[in-house]
């Protein structure tokens, strides 16, 4: 159970990094694509960070309670 949760945490953290890099790359270019999609990418980043934090808290909770 905990190993699968740890893998899910790693995947969620990688998703956060990918969305962040995509947003920063578009911002760095200054292209019209970034202007049109920056708000959407910010929402995706916040949602993926929320999922990652919830998974991390669940992992710590389960680890402390001996699950």
pLDDT for the residue 27 = 77
52 near 12, Cβ under 8 Å?
yes
Residue 24 region, left (φ>0) first, then alpha (ψ -120 to 50), else beta? alpha
pLDDT value at residue 67: 65
Q: In this structure, what token pair is assigned to residue 51?
A: 């999922």
Q: How far apart are CA 25 and CA 47, in angstroms?
A: 19
pLDDT (tens place) for every residue of the chain, 67 residues total? 678 999 999 999 999 999 999 888 877 777 777 778 888 888 999 999 999 999 999 999 999 987 6
pLDDT at 48 (0 to 100): 95
What pLDDT does 20 receive? 92
């Amino acid at each position: 159970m905990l190993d699968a949760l740890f893998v899910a945490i790693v995947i969620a953290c990688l998703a956060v990094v990918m969305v962040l890099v995509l947003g920063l790359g578009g911002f760095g270019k200054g292209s019209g694509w970034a202007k049109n999609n920056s708000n959407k990418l910010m929402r995706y980043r916040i949602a993926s960070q929320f999922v990652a934090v919830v998974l991390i808290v669940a992992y710590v909770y389960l680890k402390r309670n001996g699950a």
